[in-house]
Structure 1
Amino acid sequence: MRIAPFQLERWFAEVEADADVMLAESGVRPLSADRFDTDPGELGYVIPTAGRPAFRAKVGELHGRDAAETLFTCGTQEANLLALLSLADSHVVVVTPTYGSFTGLANSLCDVTRVPLVEPGWELDPDAVESALRPDTDLAVVVNPNNPTGRHHDEETMRSVYERCADNGTYLLCDEVYRLLSADPIAPVSSFGRHGISTGGVSKSFGLAGLRFGWLCGPSAVVATAENWKDYTTISPPTFGHHVAEQAFDRHEELLAENREHVAENRAVVEAFLDTHDLAWSNPDCGVNAFVEVPAGFASGESFSRSLVTEESVVVAPGEAFGRPEWFRIGFGLPREKLDEGLSRTGAFLARHR
């Protein structure tokens, strides 16, 4: 199996470690470990390796599934990998722009058809997804809320996409890692019916990226196949991650309300900054990501991003990583003082280049 470099992660590997401000961070600022009991006891495998049944039942219930239809993973990234390894055989439809692992993984496994969101509002068109389906389409993939634009597709739209996939015998995989940042989250795709699969984790909405804890919820046959693949990857979820994530779920209403407030305040700060500098953006309505137009005078998202990190030590994500070179991605979930510093330096950079 040959796979293309993951452009976004290669960019971060090149510039993130030496930069002062990570203005491309795609999650909510990390919570402090002292808010949780961090002693899981013995550091053995989580048993059973799919995750402890009582906790799987809690997560499954929030996704319209039971414990047997829920698999714990090392982050949402592994959940998505396992879903694709389990299902992608002939043809996959991927809605774009999207997180790069979906196009990269799918391209390494089978034929891929990309369905672009409709600009300027970045809407998902169910008719376009249906037109892309083939008799041999194994899987369609949507990230909702979308990364990189921060746009949230409503439940009516998602159900319409699901019905068209189900009628074709195609599974619909939805990466819902930002879903719980909505004040009124829509129903997860896994609850729509036998062809629905949801992946998620605690990295983004909960601000617990370091736990490397995620899940896959879906039909029992798909979960069983994914569990078989997991025997060849990480075997079990991390003991620390499982232990702390269970506490976070027990307090999810408190933690998510806190994070939603933080994100809303930061979003308002970014919107005011962009208005001041007359820059258009994707007008995100859920999550912590946004596309921002590349300012005049720069050839592409990469040229802008590279100049910004060189001159101001601020990292943003070039749109080329998402197949959209006329944009760059920012994240606004970071701590407020870091956000202010990053925007201040970006403002100084823009002033010099206009």
Structure 2
Amino acid sequence: MDIAEFGLERWFAKHEHGADIMLAESGIRSLDADRFDTDPGELGYVIPTNGEPAFRADVADRYGRDADEVLFTCGAQEANFLTFLSLLDEGDHAVVVTPTYQALYSVPESLCDVTRVPLSPPDWELDPDAVADAVRPETKLVVVNNPNNPTGRYHPEGTVRALYDIAADAGAYLLCDEVYRLLAEDPLPPAASLGPRGISTASATKSHGLAGLRFGWAVLPEELVETAWNWKDYTTISPSKFGQHVARQALGEREAAILRENRDHAARNRERVAAFLDEHGLDWYEPVGVNGFVTVPDGFADAREFCTAVVEEESVVLAPGDLFGHPDRFRIGFGLPADELEEGLARVGRCIDRRA
């Protein structure tokens, strides 16, 4: 396997630890541990290593699937990784909708041939016919991220169902990375609920504010779970005992309150960022989730120059859009605490004003 360097993570590694404010974070602000019972008892492996059966059954119910069609993982990153390893091999083909999180195309590209289907600004609308045109006889997988990272575009239910039908008609699967789905006021049905060729991946990170749990899951056909579980024996073996313990609380009776709180927080911060963009003549597609893809201010050659200036002059990290294939935009994350967001925007505004 020869895999590309993960550009976004290398950018973060270079800048985020020395910067004052992380304004490119892609999740909602983290919840405090004291809101949960944090004692899981003996800190051994989760047994069985695919996840506690009753909890898997609870998660499966969300998708209209069975417990044996759920695999608990170390975040959605591992859920996607194991799914790719289970489905794709040399000689296969995958279709990936971009821009998106790099792992959703770089891992498939390390395994097989990939066709990227681009979304175009300003609306980032997904045309199912473009996906259908990209499908080949050897296509095994169609990949989409909904709501989309970095644009925040939430593709409508009809579009996702059309993608499912395209994949199913080709004997392929539709994988939908749905880590931001529950931040929507009215979440769409998950891909895994659409039929046996729908695969959903998610985690407690982005919507629930529990990144430190490193807890995620994949919902996929039982035979693929068996293959992915076999691969998992060579990665993390089992999910985190601590992560599963807290996640069970967060996805249980407390979930409605947590999601309401997080949605309200995201909405307030989104309004503040929208006002900031208006003040500075910048534009975005109003996002679902906590990421927006913003046009580069005047006075800067491209997003890389702008983001470098912001971090060097104001100690604020943004994500340059060339990391997503769009050098004329940058990603801003607005899930952080409101006071940090306010300070970060003020600093970014100073940097813009100096070039005005």
Q: TM-score, normalising length from structure 2?
A: 0.98
Aligned pairs for 1:202-351 within 5 A: 202-250=204-252, 251-284=254-287, 286-351=288-353
CA distance in 1 between partners of 2:122 and 2:244 (Å): 40
Residues 19-77 of structure 1: CA deviation (Å, up to 9, x unaligned): 00000010000000000011110010000101001100111111221110000000000
Match of 1:154 in 2: 156
Gaps of 5+ in 2: none
Residues 82-105 of structure 1: CA deviation (Å, up to 9, x unaligned): 011111221111100000111211
Question: How far does residue 296 in structure 1 lie from its aligned partner after superposition?
Answer: 1.8
Residues 258-298 of structure 1: CA deviation (Å, up to 9, x unaligned): 100000000000000000101011221x1000100111221
Q: What SS class does the counterpart of residue 302 from structure 1 fall into? A: helix
CA distance in 2 between partners of 1:93 and 1:193 (Å): 19
Aligned pairs for 1:38-49 within 5 A: 38-49=38-49
1:184 and 2:171 correspond: no
> In terms of mean alpha carbon deviation, does 272-281 or 114-123 score higher?
114-123
CA distance in 1 between partners of 2:121 and 2:330 (Å): 16
Question: How far does residue 106 in structure 1 lie from its aligned partner after superposition?
Answer: 1.2
CA distance in 1 between partners of 2:227 and 2:331 (Å): 35
Aligned pairs for 1:105-144 within 5 A: 105-144=107-146
Match of 1:56 in 2: 56
Match of 2:37 in 1: 37
CA distance in 1 between partners of 2:302 and 2:4 (Å): 21
Q: What SS class does the counterpart of residue 138 from structure 1 fall into? A: strand
Aligned pairs for 1:163-174 within 5 A: 163-174=165-176
CA distance in 2 between partners of 1:267 and 1:44 (Å): 41
Match of 2:5 in 1: 5
Question: What is the number of equivalent residue pairs in this alignment?
Answer: 353
Contact 1:118-1:125 within 8 A present in 2 as well: no
> In terms of mean alpha carbon deviation, does 202-211 or 101-110 score higher?
101-110
CA distance in 1 between partners of 2:39 and 2:183 (Å): 28
Percent sequence identity is: 63
Contact 2:270-2:334 within 8 A present in 1 as well: yes
Contact 2:122-2:284 within 8 A present in 1 as well: no
Question: How far does residue 189 in structure 1 lie from its aligned partner after superposition?
Answer: 0.3
Match of 2:76 in 1: 76
CA distance in 2 between partners of 1:94 and 1:268 (Å): 31
The one-letter amino acid paired with 1:240 is F
The one-letter amino acid paired with 1:153 is H
CA distance in 1 between partners of 2:353 and 2:230 (Å): 55
CA distance in 1 between partners of 2:62 and 2:183 (Å): 14
Question: How far does residue 128 in structure 1 lie from its aligned partner after superposition?
Answer: 0.5
Q: What SS class does the counterpart of residue 275 from structure 1 fall into? A: helix
CA distance in 2 between partners of 1:70 and 1:134 (Å): 29
Q: What SS class does the counterpart of residue 43 from structure 1 fall into? A: coil
Q: What SS class does the counterpart of residue 57 from structure 1 fall into? A: helix
Structure 1 moving runs of 4+ over 6 Å: none
Q: What SS class does the counterpart of residue 41 from structure 1 fall into? A: coil
Q: What SS class does the counterpart of residue 68 from structure 1 fall into? A: helix
Match of 2:22 in 1: 22
CA distance in 1 between partners of 2:246 and 2:149 (Å): 26
CA distance in 2 between partners of 1:114 and 1:297 (Å): 31
Contact 2:300-2:306 within 8 A present in 1 as well: yes
Match of 1:86 in 2: 86
CA distance in 2 between partners of 1:161 and 1:117 (Å): 14
Gaps of 5+ in 1: none
Question: How far does residue 119 in structure 1 lie from its aligned partner after superposition?
Answer: 2.7
Contact 1:144-1:175 within 8 A present in 2 as well: yes
Q: TM-score, normalising length from structure 1?
A: 0.99
CA distance in 1 between partners of 2:124 and 2:188 (Å): 18
The one-letter amino acid paired with 2:308 is R
Q: Say what the alpha-carbon RMSD is for the aligned residues.
A: 0.7
CA distance in 1 between partners of 2:300 and 2:121 (Å): 22
